[in-house]
Amino acid sequence: MAAQKKEKEEITFETALSRLETIVQTMESGETSLDNMISSFEEGQRLVKFCTDKLNEVERKIEKLAKNADGEIQPVPFDVSEE
């Protein structure tokens, strides 16, 4: 469990998306065993959740952009506990 959490902390959106593309290509090729397809599907589901969570986080941060007194856009600190 700790290894899985550490892996999740180190992965980037771009890395996850690239891995998802590789998984899809491999599965679509039909040149892998059923067992490999199942484990690839499970990995893909975890990666999709990671990417979705990351995109949602970024979307919330963008929505929190605000203009300051000078009319310049500045980020407002994002606090997950607000939700």
Domain locations along the chain: 2-82
Query: Given this model, what pLDDT does residue 38 score?
Result: 95
Average confidence (pLDDT) over 17-39: 95
2-82 CATH: 1.10.287
Q: Are the C-beta atoms of 36 and 22 separated by less than 8 Å?
A: no
With cut-offs at 50, 70 and 90, classify the pLDDT of residue 1. very low
CA 43 to chain centre: 13
Cα–Cα separations (whole angstroms), residue 38 to 1, 2, 4, 16, 30: 20, 23, 18, 18, 13
pLDDT at 72 over 80: no
Nearest in space to 47 (alpha carbons), one of 77, 2, 79, 4: 4
Predicted structure pTM score? 0.66
With cut-offs at 50, 70 and 90, classify the pLDDT of residue 61. confident
